């Protein structure tokens, strides 16, 4: 311990007296300052700053490697090594150096955290409530990467004394960076990458910064491998010849750390599976749609009436499990007949009981069929376990279980997702047909949020057509009859946005001769899948895409009050968008209603003429010019009638390009 | 005090045998290890300093076995290698504090110990100056200071005077002499005979992996007895003599060129047999 302390004192003194640590600290603090300023100016997202901090990670790794080399060669370069070897406690020196490097990394991370948190305070960001996450992120991604790089640099420089050391280290640097896919196959590059899986992604406010056990394990494996490498380096070091005892200890250290790395490897590979799941989800519904085309009458209304649900929910990493007790009424005509429930296929039913008696049941894809007994009512209990879709992501840190998604058995046979004409997967709203009474219990301490009434810690009750449960970087806001659940900073924007959105909706409703739309009291800012609208309205809740809200931070009305956002979300057929028809309809609507009543605004129509390829169907490309030509021939009122006619077709998903052509020809 | 006993020490690097069954017994005082460049002196010193491990042989001192207790050895050892430096950003005192702490000198003694050794090497004024600003000679002296810190029983200095100016060299020799008088073994390895002659009571000569001990410098000089000749020649004769004999020294004089020649036979009739020097004894031994 004495040798360790003395060596540590000297090593830290050398770091303190050298230029490198000060240089790194200065650069880091300046970079964070300018980075924070830029991100706050543009989107008020420090989360994005951290997530996009690839350059910090790479610079940290590079500095780590350089300082590792310096640390390993320090004594050798000044010709002090021989004297130190001849002194007692030389065995402790390499490990002291690693420990000292750990302290330096800790100090650098500490200052980074302090600066970022200081900025939170300065800009009154609600992210301050989640400061622990920021600290963990900086230490995990920047700190651990830098620390490991330092050890690797140390090990390399200890053994190799030529310039090849630098070539080897350069390769390590590239292979462990988020840009390593230029050199490695995808799966290997993902594993080797010590930073964000995709640094170009938009920061996910709902989920917060990306943490996974696999990321930590990956860093841990690199750490163990580094230690194994250092131990090996010490065995074969050139200046000192180790004793037998020393060699044995070093070889045992090397082998055991190598062994630990191998044991941990499967845990670190888990995250590679996630994307495969996402793509298999797409394939699943593509094949499903081939077998059950959209025009096919796939949906079947429920034959059982559900009075209430009692769900005891649990989550473990990406899995959820629960026991759902459904109080059901069975009519006589359904006795001894199969009754359908819709349940996402990733969730596997383990058993189904009615009042304790095992039922005859089967699960096929998204459908669970139950053979109804001759019993008028009872408690139907489902034991379920499995994973949800990318639409309802679940992981250790957060989850979003939507009221529109059948994560619990929904009576009836419903199509869960569709592949739109643009090829994107889109999730339908699969709610109950009639409200039921829900009683939900979540068996973990982390706070969750719901559209139902919170009766005690993570226990919710109430009547609804569906249940939304959310966990993550979220805050709650209750005021003026509104219940808003949203990520920090974004939550303050929602109450400002809603009146403006309502105003625009009223105008659109008036133009389309629809009754005014009431915005539900539950508003959730959530992750939304690409194929779905950025705003979705369910029976008792409004869902807003967190990414989009972030993108328009401070200028939300620019997008969320536009017809592009509101009309598809609130007025059109939610399922199976008709892209060309929709574009033409919106262009006509814009032409008629965005300017004063005296003139047309044809900017959008002209845009479609200038960029005809934005309409996929070639037959549709002549329509914009036909509309403009018609504006000079017929009255505005007639154009409005045309718009309403198209709207009535579009909202039921039946407005074809041919229909539009015909209706235009009829007006000429 | 016990003697340092080195018994049948051998060391090879790959297939090259650097030390071959070297056996020496060294008593307290200043001991010189002489040998030409590449003779294996540094390897020998590194083995004693526990940096390298011998392939064969045993080293013992005060009951401590080198192969079994290297850490014990390190506690009683002061070592100054041929190439020595210290961290440039650290002061002389901080460097010595670091080394002293590793040597296990108690904190309350360390301050005075450092003061003492810095005075010994005449660096007391530079105690708080960073080593980066030291001249080569000052660094060497600081090297000696670190080696003698904690009053080790065994001090090893490898080629300490290499690259020093004459004044520094003399100061260094005197310092080593003083250290040798303090009931400890001071092990001086060098290829400069002058250094040994001026300081050491015991000598060993190492050449081609073999070593021989001499109890005094005169014993080494005696090897050349009847083999050193003195004569004066003109320039033509000088060229002839240089071709056939080992010329040790040549000085211009009024009569011609005064030569000292190493030869088993009398080179010519004018040659006179003279008393050999240590250097001549050393040269005779390594050319045997």
Whole-angstrom distance, CA of residue A338 vs CA of residue B170 = 110
pLDDT of the residue at B250: 87
Q: Which residues of A touch B (CB under 8 A)?
A: 2-3, 6-7, 9-10, 13-14, 17-18, 74, 78-80, 82-90, 239-241, 243
C-beta separation of A318 from A326 below 8 A = no
B46 and chain A in contact, CB less than 8 A: yes
Nearest to B99 among A87, A239, A240 (CB): A87
Kindly identify which residue of chain B lies nearest to residue A7, measuring between CA atoms: B98
**Distance (Å) of CA A507 to CA A510, A516, B14:** 5, 9, 92
Q: Do B83 and A240 touch (CB under 8 A)?
A: no
Dihedral, B179, B181, B187, B190 alpha carbons, nearest 10: 80
In what order do the strands lie in the sheet containing B272-273? Answer: B246-252, B257-262, B228-233, B272-273
Each residue of A188-235: pLDDT tens digit? Answer: 777 778 887 777 777 778 888 877 777 888 889 989 998 998 888 888
pLDDT of the residue at A273: 46
C-beta separation of B154 from B185 below 8 A = yes
**Distance (Å) of CA B160 to CA A420, A535, B34, B42, B191:** 85, 83, 13, 12, 10
Q: Do B84 and A82 touch (CB under 8 A)?
A: yes
C-beta separation of B53 from B67 below 8 A = yes
Instruction: Give the containing element (helix H, strand E) for A165.
Output: helix A164-175
First to last CA, chain B: 35
User: What three-state secondary structure class fits A67?
Assistant: helix
Q: Do A241 and B52 touch (CB under 8 A)?
A: yes
pLDDT of the residue at A577: 63
Specify the pairing of strand A522-526 against strand A541-545: parallel
B86 and chain A in contact, CB less than 8 A: yes
Whole-angstrom distance, CA of residue B159 vs CA of residue A171 = 42
Q: Do B53 and A241 touch (CB under 8 A)?
A: yes
Per-residue pLDDT averaged across B169-173, rounded? 82
Q: Do A88 and B104 touch (CB under 8 A)?
A: yes
**Residue tagged 């994107």 (tokens):** A424
Nearest to B102 among A3, A82, A241 (CB): A3
pLDDT of the residue at A1: 79
Q: Do B77 and A86 touch (CB under 8 A)?
A: yes
Kindly identify which residue of chain A lies nearest to residue B69, measuring between CA atoms: A243
Specify the pairing of strand A425-427 against strand A347-354: unpaired
Each residue of A268-289: pLDDT tens digit? Answer: 775 544 544 556 778 888 888 8
In what order do the strands lie in the sheet containing A347-354? Answer: A357-358, A347-354, A377-386, A319-329, A305-316, A436-442, A459-464, A453-456
Is the confidence at residue B22, as pLDDT, over 50?
yes
Buried b (16+ CB within 10 A) or exposed e, A466-491: bbbbbbbbbbeeeeeebbbbbbbbbb
Query: Which chain A residues are within 8 Å of B87, Cβ to Cβ?
Result: 10, 14, 74, 78, 80
CA B282: distance to chain centroid?
14
Is the confidence at residue A557, as pLDDT, over 60?
yes
B247 and chain A in contact, CB less than 8 A: no
Buried b (16+ CB within 10 A) or exposed e, A279-307: eebbebbeebbeeeeeeeeeeeebbbebe
Per-residue pLDDT averaged across A122-137, rounded? 86
Our CA-based measurement puts residue A243 at a distance from the nearest CA of chain B, in whole angstroms, of 8
Chain pair A-B, CB pairs under 8 angstroms = 78
**This prediction's pTM:** 0.78
Whole-angstrom distance, CA of residue A83 vs CA of residue B155 = 12
- Best mutation target, B13, B42, B47, B50, to test chain A (most A CBs within 10 A): B50
Q: Do A79 and B81 touch (CB under 8 A)?
A: yes
CA A503: distance to chain centroid?
31
pLDDT of the residue at A375: 81
Our CA-based measurement puts residue A264 at a distance from the nearest CA of chain B, in whole angstroms, of 37
**DSSP symbols for B219-281:** HHHHTTTTTEEEEEE-HHHHHHHHHHSEEEEEEE-SSSEEEEEE-SS--STT-EE-PPPHHHH
Whole-angstrom distance, CA of residue A648 vs CA of residue A653 = 9
3-state secondary structure A541-572: EEEEEHHHHHHCCCCHHHHHCCHHHHHHHHCC
Query: Which chain A residues are within 8 Å of B102, Cβ to Cβ?
Result: 3, 6-7, 84, 87-89
Which residues, at least 6 apart from B118, have a Cβ–Cβ distance to it below 8 Å? B92, B93, B96, B124, B126, B127, B145
Position with higher pLDDT, A1 vs A131:
A131
Our CA-based measurement puts residue A67 at a distance from the nearest CA of chain B, in whole angstroms, of 16
Is the confidence at residue A581, as pLDDT, over 50?
yes
Please report, rounded to a whole number, the percentage of residues in chain A having pLDDT higher than 70.
96
Nearest to A86 among B50, B83, B94 (CB): B50
C-beta separation of A265 from A213 below 8 A = no
Cα atoms found within 13 Å of the Cα of residue A542, Cβ hemisphere only:
21
Whole-angstrom distance, CA of residue B265 vs CA of residue B225 = 12
Kindly identify which residue of chain A lies nearest to residue B131, measuring between CA atoms: A78
Whole-angstrom distance, CA of residue A472 vs CA of residue A449 = 9
- The 3-state DSSP composition of chain B as helix, strand, coil percent (nearest 5) reads 35, 30, 35
Per-residue pLDDT averaged across B74-85, rounded? 89
Whole-angstrom distance, CA of residue A196 vs CA of residue A51 = 7
B107 and chain A in contact, CB less than 8 A: no
Each residue of A222-244: pLDDT tens digit? Answer: 899 989 988 888 887 766 777 77
B208: tokens are 């081609």
Query: Which chain A residues are within 8 Å of B143, Cβ to Cβ?
Result: 83
Q: Do A87 and B102 touch (CB under 8 A)?
A: yes
Please report, rounded to a whole number, the percentage of residues in chain A having pLDDT higher than 90.
30
Q: Do A80 and B49 touch (CB under 8 A)?
A: no
Mean per-residue pLDDT of chain A: 86
Instruction: Give the containing element (helix H, strand E) for A456.
Output: strand A453-456
Query: Which chain B residues are within 8 Å of A100, Cβ to Cβ?
Result: none
Whole-angstrom distance, CA of residue A102 vs CA of residue B232 = 73
Mean per-residue pLDDT of chain B: 86
Query: Which chain A residues are within 8 Å of B14, Cβ to Cβ?
Result: none
Which residues numbered 184-213 in B keep a CB inside 8 Å of some CB on A? none
Instruction: Give the containing element (helix H, strand E) for A90.
Output: none
Please report, rounded to a whole number, the percentage of residues in chain B having pLDDT higher than 70.
99
Each residue of A370-403: pLDDT tens digit? Answer: 998 888 788 999 999 998 888 888 888 889 999 9
B127 and chain A in contact, CB less than 8 A: no
- Best mutation target, B95, B98, B102, to test chain A (most A CBs within 10 A): B102
Q: Do A17 and B89 touch (CB under 8 A)?
A: yes
User: What three-state secondary structure class fits B138?
Assistant: helix
Per-residue pLDDT averaged across A576-601, rounded? 81
Our CA-based measurement puts residue A91 at a distance from the nearest CA of chain B, in whole angstroms, of 10
Query: Which chain B residues are within 8 Å of A85, Cβ to Cβ?
Result: 49-51
Q: Among candidates A457, A453, A451, A445, which has minimal Cα distance to A431?
A: A451
Kindly identify which residue of chain A lies nearest to residue B95, measuring between CA atoms: A10
Whole-angstrom distance, CA of residue A360 vs CA of residue A297 = 26
Nearest to A86 among B49, B86, B104 (CB): B49
Our CA-based measurement puts residue B81 at a distance from the nearest CA of chain A, in whole angstroms, of 7
Please report, rounded to a whole number, the percentage of residues in chain B having pLDDT higher than 90.
11
pLDDT of the residue at A372: 85
**Residue tagged 């659109």 (tokens):** A508
Is the confidence at residue B65, as pLDDT, over 70?
yes
B90 and chain A in contact, CB less than 8 A: yes
pLDDT of the residue at A43: 62
Give the angle subtended at the CA of A327 by the CAs of A325 and A332, to the nearest 5°.
130
Each residue of A331-366: pLDDT tens digit? Answer: 888 888 889 999 999 999 999 999 888 989 999 999
User: What three-state secondary structure class fits A87?
Assistant: coil
Q: Among candidates B229, B97, B89, which has minimal Cα distance to A21?
A: B89
DSSP state of A129: G
Q: Do B53 and A83 touch (CB under 8 A)?
A: no
Q: Do A80 and B71 touch (CB under 8 A)?
A: no
Query: Which chain A residues are within 8 Å of B52, Cβ to Cβ?
Result: 240-241
**Distance (Å) of CA A535 to CA A62, A205, A466, B78, B221:** 43, 16, 18, 79, 104
pLDDT of the residue at A124: 81
User: What three-state secondary structure class fits A194?
Assistant: coil
Whole-angstrom distance, CA of residue B241 vs CA of residue B259 = 10
Q: Among candidates B68, B17, B26, which has minimal Cα distance to B189?
A: B26
Kindly identify which residue of chain A lies nearest to residue B83, measuring between CA atoms: A79
Per-residue pLDDT averaged across B125-149, rounded? 89
When mean pLDDT is compared across A130-139, A627-636, B125-134, the lowest value belongs to A627-636
Position with higher pLDDT, A553 vs A439:
A439
Q: Do B53 and A243 touch (CB under 8 A)?
A: yes
Phi, psi dihedral angles at A559 (to 5 degrees): -105, -45
Query: Which chain A residues are within 8 Å of B104, Cβ to Cβ?
Result: 2, 88
Our CA-based measurement puts residue A104 at a distance from the nearest CA of chain B, in whole angstroms, of 18
B286 and chain A in contact, CB less than 8 A: no
B63 and chain A in contact, CB less than 8 A: no
């Amino acid at each position: 311990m004495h040798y360790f302390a003395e060596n540590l004192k000297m090593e830290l003194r050398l770091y303190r007296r050298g230029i490198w640590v000060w240089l790194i600290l200065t650069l880091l603090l300046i970079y964070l300052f300018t980075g924070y300023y830029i991100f706050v100016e543009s989107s008020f997202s420090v989360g994005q700053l951290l997530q996009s901090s690839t350059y910090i990670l790479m610079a940290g790794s590079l500095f780590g490697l350089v300082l590792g080399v310096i640390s390993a060669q320090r004594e050798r370069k000044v010709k002090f090594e021989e004297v130190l070897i001849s002194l007692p406690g030389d065995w402790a020196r390499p490990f002291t150096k690693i420990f000292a490097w750990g302290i330096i990394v800790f100090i650098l991370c500490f200052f980074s955290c302090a600066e970022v948190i200081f900025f939170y305070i300065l800009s009154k960001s609600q992210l301050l409530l989640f400061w622990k996450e920021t600290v963990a992120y900086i230490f995990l991604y920047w700190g651990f990467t830098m620390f490991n790089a330092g050890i690797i640099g140390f090990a390399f420089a200890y053994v190799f004394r030529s310039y090849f050391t630098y070539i080897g280290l350069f390769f390590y640097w590239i292979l462990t960076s988020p840009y390593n896919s230029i050199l490695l196959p995808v799966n290997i590059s993902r594993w080797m990458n010590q930073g964000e899986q995709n640094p170009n992604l938009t920061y996910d406010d709902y989920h917060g910064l990306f943490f996974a056990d696999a990321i930590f394990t990956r860093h841990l494996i690199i750490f163990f491998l580094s230690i194994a490498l250092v131990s090996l380096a010490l065995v074969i070091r050139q200046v000192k010849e180790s004793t037998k005892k020393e060699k044995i200890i070093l070889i045992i250290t090397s082998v055991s750390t190598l062994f630990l790395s191998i044991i941990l490897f499967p845990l670190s590979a888990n995250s590679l599976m996630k994307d495969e799941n996402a793509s298999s989800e797409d394939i699943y519904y593509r094949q499903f749609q081939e077998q059950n085309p959209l025009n096919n009458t796939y949906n079947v209304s429920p034959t059982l009436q559900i009075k209430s649900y009692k769900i005891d929910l649990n989550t473990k990493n990406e899995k959820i499990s629960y026991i759902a007790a459904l109080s059901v009424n069975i009519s006589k005509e359904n006795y001894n007949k199969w009754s359908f429930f819709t349940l996402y296929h990733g969730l596997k039913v383990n058993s189904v009981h009615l009042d304790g008696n095992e039922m005859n049941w089967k699960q096929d894809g998204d459908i669970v069929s139950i053979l109804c007994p001759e019993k008028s009512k009872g408690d139907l209990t489902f034991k379920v376990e499995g994973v949800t879709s990318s639409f309802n992501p679940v992981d250790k840190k957060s989850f979003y279980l939507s009221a529109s998604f059948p994560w619990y058995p929904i009576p009836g046979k419903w199509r869960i997702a569709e592949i739109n004409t643009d090829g994107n997967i889109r999730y339908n709203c699969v709610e109950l047909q009639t409200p039921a009474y829900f009683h939900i219990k979540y068996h973990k301490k982390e706070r969750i949020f719901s559209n139902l009434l919170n009766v005690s810690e993570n226990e919710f009750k109430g009547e609804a057509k569906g249940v939304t449960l959310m966990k993550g970087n979220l805050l709650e806001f209750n005021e003026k009859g509104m219940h808003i659940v949203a990520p920090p900073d974004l939550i303050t924007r929602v109450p400002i946005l809603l009146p403006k959105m309502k105003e625009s909706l009223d105008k659109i409703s008036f133009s389309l001769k629809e009754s005014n739309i009431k915005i539900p009291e539950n508003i959730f800012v959530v992750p939304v899948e690409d194929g779905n609208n950025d705003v979705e309205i369910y029976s008792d809740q409004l869902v807003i895409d967190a990414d989009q809200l972030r993108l328009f931070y401070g200028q939300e009305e620019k997008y969320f009050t536009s017809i592009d956002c509101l009309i598809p979300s609130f007025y059109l057929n939610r399922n199976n968008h008709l892209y060309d028809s929709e574009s033409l309809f919106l262009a006509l609507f814009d032409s008629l209603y965005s300017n004063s009543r005296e003139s047309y605004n044809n900017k959008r129509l002209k845009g479609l003429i200038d960029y005809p390829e934005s309409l996929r169907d070639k037959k549709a490309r002549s329509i914009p010019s036909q509309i403009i030509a018609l504006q000079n021939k017929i009255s505005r009122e007639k154009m409005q009638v045309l718009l309403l006619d198209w709207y009535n077709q579009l909202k039921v998903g039946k407005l074809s390009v041919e229909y539009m052509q015909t209706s235009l020809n009829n007006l000429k | 005090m016990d003697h340092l006993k080195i018994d049948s020490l051998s060391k090879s690097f790959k297939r090259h045998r650097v030390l071959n069954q070297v056996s020496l017994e060294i008593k307290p005082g200043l001991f010189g290890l002489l040998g030409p460049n590449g003779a294996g002196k540094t390897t020998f010193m590194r083995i004693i300093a526990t940096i390298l491990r011998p392939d064969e042989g045993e080293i013992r001192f005060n009951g401590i076995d080198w192969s079994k207790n290297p850490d014990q050895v390190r506690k009683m050892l002061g070592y100054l290698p041929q190439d020595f430096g210290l961290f440039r950003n650290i002061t002389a005192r901080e460097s010595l504090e670091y080394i002293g702490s590793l040597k296990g000198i108690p904190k309350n003694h360390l301050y005075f110990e450092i003061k003492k050794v810095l005075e010994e090497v005449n660096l007391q004024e530079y105690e708080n100056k960073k080593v980066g600003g030291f001249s080569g000679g000052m660094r060497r002296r600081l090297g000696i200071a670190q080696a003698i810190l904690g009053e080790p029983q065994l001090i090893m200095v490898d080629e300490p005077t290499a690259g020093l100016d004459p004044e520094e060299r003399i100061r260094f020799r005197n310092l080593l002499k003083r250290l040798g008088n303090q009931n400890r073994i001071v092990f001086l390895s060098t290829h400069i005979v002058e250094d040994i002659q001026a300081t050491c009571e015991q000598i060993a000569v190492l050449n081609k992996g073999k070593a021989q001990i001499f109890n005094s410098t005169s014993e080494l000089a005696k090897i050349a007895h009847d083999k050193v000749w003195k004569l004066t020649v003109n320039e033509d004769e000088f060229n002839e003599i240089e071709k056939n004999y080992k010329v040790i020294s040549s000085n211009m004089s009024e009569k011609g060129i005064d030569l000292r020649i190493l030869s088993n036979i009398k080179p010519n009739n004018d040659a006179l047999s003279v008393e050999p020097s240590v250097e001549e004894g050393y040269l005779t031994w390594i050319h045997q």
